[in-house]
Amino acid sequence: MLIALAGPAHAVAERIGDGSVGTRHLKDRAVTAPKLAPNAVSGTKVVNGTVGIAHLAPNARRPQAVGADPGGSVNIPANQWTDVLTMRLPAGSWNLFAKGIITTFDSFVTCDLVVGDTIVDRTSAYGGVSGAEFGFGDSPMSLISMTTASSSSRSVTLRCHSNQNTPAVKDTKIVAIATRA
């Protein structure tokens, strides 16, 4: 009986031939993940833009790191480099942004954005600018590093120096945005 049942199926398979069943022959949703051979779908077979971050497993998503405001302001003693904010940056390729506001009038402050032991950007600002969005004496400053990459995690630090007085820096932030390697 087994041979009798297998006979017609074998005859149909011989008539169809190799490569003759295509997409139009398949019912919608007939091919499911368990039916795919291992490595049947690879990165080269995925159409660009069809897979978003929401489609990836949580452990496959690249983290975005954000350094928080340290709370309040940090005083910068005259003639001394002071670490204002530090965060740990995971391995990978990142664009970095840092900012802060000098709150003391009549102070010249220089700030560095440091990755590991390397200064990736430096800016200076003079506390004494006033404007609609800043109080009298508040001066905004920004630092940017376009793409820093490493195969291991490392520290990112916003450090500042003043040549006079003891100014304060407030509202400091470091933001790292993951980029494609």
Q: How confident is the model at residue 131 (pLDDT cuts 50, 70, 90)?
A: very low
Domains of the chain: 2-60 (no CATH), 65-178 (2.60.120.1340)
pTM as predicted: 0.59
56: Cβ contacts below 8 Å, ≥ 6 apart: none
pLDDT tens-digit map of 36-83:
888 877 777 778 778 777 777 665 665 565 555 666 788 889 899 999
Quote the CA–CA distance of 108 and 139 in Å, as a whole number: 10
Q: How far apart are CA 169 and CA 73, in angstroms?
A: 5
